[in-house]
Amino acid sequence: MSDLIPLLPPLVALALILITRKAALSLFCATVAGAFLLAGPSPILAIRCLFEDHLFPKIGSSTWNLSAIIFTLTLGAFATLLEKGGGFTALLNRLLAKKGKDPKKKLLFGVYGLGLLCFFDGLANAILLGRVARPLTDSLRISRQFLAYLIDSTSATVACVAFISTWIAAQLSIISDSLALAPFEVNPAALFFNSIPANPYCLLSLILIPLVIFKAWHLGPMKKAQPVPLDDHSEHIAENSPRVALIPLATLVLTLPAFIYLWQDGSDWSWRNAFTSAGVPYAMVASGFVALLSAFLCFPKAQKKQAPQHMLDGAASLIPALIILICAWTLGSMFKSLGTADLIKQLLGDNISTMSIPLVIFLVGAVMSFLTGTSWGTFGLLMPMALPLVLNLGVDLPEAELMNLISMTIGAVFGGAVFGDHCSPFSDTTLVSALAAGCSPTSHVATQLPYAMIAATGAACAYGLMWIGLASWLATLIMASLLAALVLTRKTPS
């Protein structure tokens, strides 16, 4: 039994998340348990071990980790300014002002496009789209459950695969931290880009949405969802010029790659060298500050006095997520000291194929995120165990194959984690999407689950294809083609 001690911290975290539904508190308790395992029964030694050996070194000694904190807070403030500015409301209203044959489809495609445009934050995306689109969908007799599905399945998904979002700094830092013992130079940005085609759940979810809109495919419980009475009062958000949103967004999109390119080291300047440079975290922070300044300058003059409070509220809203991230760094450090990955390897023995790891990790992540309702908590707990496990099991693989397996595992962790955001009744994004769309969380979960399960089944099949040797992009493309064929060959309802 004592041989299983290294598994105690992750088990503590998972059990407490299931009981309390509070990811930050649960992960912190797991770090405390790890500290006692490493330092012995003395509370003083355990506290010193936690702060001196694991927590503070992870924050202060890594530019990636410090930049993740600053960039995430900055983008939280940025997202709230864009939401409160009203520019996106004007964009959607101008789209509807143009004449078209099918106003329902035009509106839904417009909401979907707006969701893709709001790639910078998942929760802000869901809140914004719900507040902007709900009065319009009500007037066109579109059910609020369908609107909730649309905004929920777009928000976390696009934030997970976008290189510019409140997620990215955390994603890059946790990838870098989880591969601290890798026998090769780790390039978190390159691994993230390579993991995108190996994240079929997010990609298939984004592909499924326009197909469902085009074919008006109301599946399962969604068939019974009815629009609200026309006299229902919906919350409206102030409308301003689209420039209020588009200029800051363009500033963020343009300055981030520009700063990364200009911040690179050495004389051989290239995009490849730029993304492997040590200057990437500095460039991200600088770009975030410039974008935030642009959003403040473009904010409507009549509401300018409220802008500082909006920025504070936006930054503060991401503090729980950052606590999860910091605890994940600390747990990752403790897992290394406890030898958790080595123990998992010993327990698995010859019972698992190395190339099956992405499929296994995706299924574990999907179940974990569904039960716990936290995407950040899931990848914060799973990534520090999954990547060291890949390093251990793939020690005999050529470096190119090992790097490919690492990228697939990263995509599997993120995809499995996002699945819970779409299906779990405990997920903050699920609850926010339902409330923003104006329907009950229960009805939203019931109507969205069939669509999410289709994407998850396709993702699992894609990982099965990767297992037998297909490239991740080809496996995802095959499943995307099959998904499109499944939906497009269905008879359109009259």
Give the pLDDT of residue 308. 92
- Distance, CA of 378 to CA of 414 (rounded, Å): 9
For residue 16, the Cα-to-chain-centroid distance in whole angstroms is 22
Mention every residue, 6+ apart, whose C-beta is less than 8 A from residue 481: none
pLDDT tens track for 3-51: 678 888 888 887 887 787 777 788 888 899 989 998 888 889 999 999 8
Kindly state the percentage of the chain with pLDDT values over 90: 22
Q: Residue 366 is part of which domain span?
A: 61-488
Give the pLDDT of residue 413. 94
- Distance, CA of 288 to CA of 351 (rounded, Å): 46
- Distance, CA of 492 to CA of 18 (rounded, Å): 41
Mean pLDDT across the chain: 83
- Mean pLDDT over residues 123-134, rounded? 74
Residue 410 sits at the vertex; the CA angle it makes with 406 and 414, to the nearest 5 degrees, is 170
Q: Is the pLDDT of residue 189 over 50?
A: yes
Q: Is the pLDDT of residue 326 over 50?
A: yes
pLDDT-derived band at 232 (thresholds 50, 70, 90) equals: very low
Give the pLDDT of residue 170. 80
- Distance, CA of 408 to CA of 475 (rounded, Å): 11
Q: Is the pLDDT of residue 494 over 60?
A: no
pLDDT-derived band at 493 (thresholds 50, 70, 90) equals: low
pLDDT tens track for 130-150: 777 887 788 888 899 999 999
Give the pLDDT of residue 97. 62
Give the pLDDT of residue 372. 74
Give the pLDDT of residue 1. 45
Residues in the chain: 494
Greatest CA separation for the chain: 72
Half-sphere exposure of 19 (CA within 13 A, CB side): 10
Give the pLDDT of residue 100. 62
- Mean pLDDT over residues 176-189, rounded? 84
Cβ atoms 346, 66 nearer than 8 A: no
Residue 33 lies in a domain: no
- Per the rule left: phi > 0, alpha: psi between -120 and 50, beta: everything else, 216 is left
More confident residue, 234 or 5: 5
Residue 358 lies in a domain: yes
Residue 31 lies in a domain: no
Residue 337 lies in a domain: yes
- Mean pLDDT over residues 164-187, rounded? 82
pTM here? Answer: 0.78
Give the pLDDT of residue 481. 96
- Distance, CA of 108 to CA of 215 (rounded, Å): 12
Most confident of 228-237, 309-318, 367-376: 309-318
Cβ atoms 130, 437 nearer than 8 A: yes
Residue 304 sits at the vertex; the CA angle it makes with 302 and 305, to the nearest 5 degrees, is 110
Residue 354 lies in a domain: yes
Dihedrals phi, psi of 80, to nearest 5 degrees: -70, -40
- Mean pLDDT over residues 52-64, rounded? 78
| Number of domains forming the structure of the chain | 1
Taking Cα atoms as reference points, which of 401, 402, 370, 406 lies closest to residue 386? 406
DSSP-based three-state secondary structure for 26: helix
DSSP secondary structure of 193-239:
HHHSTT-HHHHHHHHHHHHHHHHT---GGGGG--PPPTT--------
Q: Residue 217 is which amino acid?
A: W
Residue 268 lies in a domain: yes
pLDDT tens track for 254-310: 888 888 888 887 777 877 778 767 788 888 889 889 999 999 998 988 888 999 999
More confident residue, 270 or 191: 191
pLDDT tens track for 355-391: 889 999 999 888 888 877 778 778 888 888 889 888 8
Give the pLDDT of residue 348. 66
* Residue 232: how many other CB atoms lie within 10 Å: 12
- Say if residue 469 is exposed, middle or buried (CB neighbours under 10 Å; 0-12, 13-18, 19+): exposed
Residue 301 lies in a domain: yes
Q: Helix axis angle, 399-423 relative to 357-372, nearest 10°?
A: 20
Residue 467 lies in a domain: yes
- Mean pLDDT over residues 388-397, rounded? 85
pLDDT-derived band at 72 (thresholds 50, 70, 90) equals: confident
pLDDT-derived band at 99 (thresholds 50, 70, 90) equals: low
- Mean pLDDT over residues 331-340, rounded? 81
Give the pLDDT of residue 349. 59
* Residue 135: how many other CB atoms lie within 10 Å: 16
Q: Is the pLDDT of residue 236 over 60?
A: no
Worst-scoring range by mean pLDDT, 187-196, 370-379, 460-469? 370-379
- Mean pLDDT over residues 149-174, rounded? 85
- Mean pLDDT over residues 462-482, rounded? 95
